[in-house]
Chains A and B, each alone.
Chain A
Amino acid sequence: DTGVSQDPRHKITKRGQNVTFRCDPISEHNRLYWYRQTLGQGPEFLTYFQNEAQLEKSRLLSDRFSAERPKGSFSTLEIQRTEQGDSAMYLCASSSVPYRRDLDYGYTFGSGTRLTVV
């Protein structure tokens, strides 16, 4: 297992277009998280899944955003009708449940997808 994989690494899109990102977590991890990071800021939580169930969504996740994890493995994050304010790094992370302190939570981040909306 090579860790958390995200695809694509970079995406440039025109305002109003739809985009979809993919995340492949570490295979034995049953939790998957999406975060958004804008320039000069720390990552902000968007949503998370336990297996295929989406258990929490942040207020940052507007109606134009939808995330799925259909079989409890990979996840997709779609943004519809993109706006310039959506430009950011979208980070995916995975962890095991129950978390264990001695494993430092097993919380592993991917390298992210950098979205630029022009």
Chain B
Amino acid sequence: GQQLNQSPQSMFIQEGEDVSMNCTSSSIFNTWLWYKQDPGEGPVLLIALYKAGELTSNGRLTAQFGITRKDSFLNISASIPSDVGIYFCAEIKAAGNKLTFGGGTRVLVKP
């Protein structure tokens, strides 16, 4: 079946740093979604990407839909403590609206 691989699995951030994470797929996607999940909560949609090459921003977040349609990246600029959480990439199937999630990138604060 289709697989979504996210990297890195975890990262430490220091306030003010820019961070980047990516997601690759074993098959071609028509939509890329990026979610954030805080501890004890459900995922919340950050950015949705609909076509190859598309670059979309949401505040300090920027995501791009790779031109091969098999990858996407998410950048967070000038990170702040509340950026801590788990970031997931996902695909949505038009038939049934099912989501398939990657394994997540856990963002932690440097001690």
Q: Are A and B associated in one complex?
A: yes
Interface residues of chain A, those whose CB is within 8 Å of chain B, are: 4, 9, 31, 33, 35, 40-45, 48, 55-56, 91, 93, 95, 97, 99, 101, 104-105, 107, 109-112, 114
Q: Determine whether the beta carbon of A104 is less than 8 Å from that of B45.
A: yes
Provide the residues of chain B in CB contact with A40, threshold 8 Å: 103-104
Cβ 8 A contact of B90, one of A42, A99, A111: A42
**A41-B104, A42-B103 known; A109-B96 Cβ under 8 A:** no
Given A33-B97, A42-B90, A48-B97, A4 and B104 contact (CB-CB distance below 8 Å): no
Contact: A112 with B42, CB < 8 Å?
yes
Given contacts A109-B42, A109-B44, contact A44 B97 (CB under 8 A): no
How far does the Cβ of A54 sit from chain B's closest Cβ, in whole Å?
A: 12
The closest CB in chain B to the CB of A50 belongs to B96
- Cβ of B43 within 8 Å of any chain A Cβ, yes or no, is yes
Which B residues are CB-close (under 8 A) to A104?
45, 48
Bin the interface of chain B by size: 20 to 34
Whether A109 contacts B98 in the complex (CB less than 8 A), given A40-B103, A42-B90, A42-B104, comes out as no
Q: What is the number of contacts between chain A and chain B, taking CB atoms within 8 Å? A: 62
B residues touching A (Cβ–Cβ < 8 Å)?
4, 40-45, 48, 50, 88, 90, 92, 96-104
Q: Give chain A residues whose Cβ lies under 8 Å from the Cβ of B98.
A: 33, 45, 48, 56
Q: Are B97 and A105 in contact (CB under 8 A)?
A: yes
Shortest C-beta distance, A32 to chain B (Å), equals 11
The reply to whether B100 and A45 contact each other, CB–CB distance below 8 Å, is yes
B50 surroundings in chain A (CB, below 8 A): 101
Excluding A42-B101, A99-B97, A109-B42, 17 further A-B contacts by CB distance (< 8 Å) are A9-B40, A31-B97, A33-B99, A40-B103, A41-B103, A43-B43, A43-B101, A44-B101, A45-B98, A48-B96, A55-B96, A93-B99, A101-B48, A105-B48, A107-B92, A111-B41, A112-B42
Cβ of A10 to closest chain B Cβ, rounded Å: 9
| B48 CB contacts on chain A under 8 angstroms | 101, 104-105
